[in-house]
Structure 1
């Protein structure tokens, strides 16, 4: 791809999704966009970019989805889920004893493994949560991955990545060579197509937000804006989970790290 086309594609992705496409990502562009070009009967990425320049909205959507879709797996990295169970849930059970309501947002939920992991953890505590209203919202910019998430159907490879065998047996049923997550777990999660660059108005307040491995694709000003807007829709004692390579330091004063809890940040009241 020539430099002008690469710059056009980079600018388009930044404007539509916040993704910063650096010059060393040529391999990623080819691996993800050549299949789209071929599906359109195009032999080169230059032809695909020509379609983007003509403002082909369907093509723009396909390209943005392809470039922003990232892999996910159940209980990814373990620590954020162990921390949720050992630290966050006890706090919420105490702090929300009167309202008996908890709202959780899984941003960039992809094919649903993260919100479903949380749903299984909560289901394991159903006795303590009897009479409570727990809402989990999973969002992603890609309509295709959300369709898969809603279906809750996963390959053998996908359920082998991070999912404890006891939870597989308890919450999944075999369908051919795939596994379908139980209806009661699917019903705990609502999915919505959503772009983190859009307004957060209308989402409501959240007690817990998982926004992991998303900020790493944004430039510094975009990271700061997203963090501040997340803070706007969190409760005063809300908890934010970021990826292991992400931080709020130098980006936002509205969160502070929770001591000895890697990847966990709490809202700074009054900011």
Structure 2
């Protein structure tokens, strides 16, 4: 792959997916896109770049973006964000929304579905407290391929072993040979949609809880700022935003602030600031 081809791919992926590739990631581009060349019968990466320049084959364009999009995930990944949901976020949301009895949750980079299905399990465990409530989980991802896999709810033995408690595996999955299928009741709880975070997502509406974890790390600062500002616009006034352990809103937007007690948890700046500080600012 020539320097010109690499620079073209960097610009192409930045425009299509927001992925900010540094020069030292050249090896990653070659390793992930070489199988795409084989899949479409292209002799080399220069031929793949040529096909992208012609912009005549949408299948190749989608394959390139999806090959470069990291889809590493597992059930209850990092655990703490899910403990926060169960112990802090959900009780507060139930108290706050008791009048309208509605709860909306968005998994904004859902990959193959483990994150939204983990949330669905927690909500299923809390079912007695949610009787009579309208509960929605919207799960989105850039990749149509992983969205289709997520909709199937079909996982390998390796996938269900990663982070999933054994008792919940037996409770919420059915085994068929080497595959495990998630319960239809959980699949019915999640609405999977293909969404590119670089584009508008206002049509999704407002959410009480947004999980956007381990995706912003792949973007440059201006892209992060833009996405965070728009996420703030989709977050309910006292809603909760959860980011990955290596992600933050600090220095990127003044619309969101860290929670004073819980790392990785964010809310609207005016709500997150202590009452005394808000009062001082007001007058």
> Rg larger in 1 or in 2?
2
Residues 1:148 and 2:149 are matched in the alignment = yes
RMSD of aligned Cα (Å): 1.2
**Where do 5+ consecutive residues of structure 1 fail to align?**
none
Q: If the length of structure 2 is used for normalisation, what is the TM-score?
A: 0.93
**Where do 5+ consecutive residues of structure 2 fail to align?**
273-283
Corresponding position of 1:65: 66
More displaced, 38-47 or 204-213? Answer: 38-47
CA contact (8 A) 1:106 1:137 kept: yes
SS at structure 2 position matched to 1:127: helix
Deviations 1:1-22 (A, max 9, x none): 1111001001011111111111
Corresponding position of 2:276: none
Corresponding position of 1:97: 98
**What is the Cα deviation at residue 87 of structure 1?**
0.7
Q: If the length of structure 1 is used for normalisation, what is the TM-score?
A: 0.98
SS at structure 1 position matched to 2:204: coil
Residues 1:134 and 2:135 are matched in the alignment = yes
Corresponding position of 1:198: 199
Corresponding position of 2:51: 51
SS at structure 1 position matched to 2:251: coil
Corresponding position of 2:262: 261
SS at structure 1 position matched to 2:246: coil
- Distance in 2, matches of 1:12 and 1:202, equals 26
CA contact (8 A) 1:236 1:269 kept: no
Corresponding position of 2:119: 118
Aligned residue pair count:
271
CA contact (8 A) 2:40 2:60 kept: no
Point out the structure with the larger helix share.
2
Superposed counterparts of 1:223-242, under 5 Å = 223-242=224-243
SS at structure 2 position matched to 1:10: helix
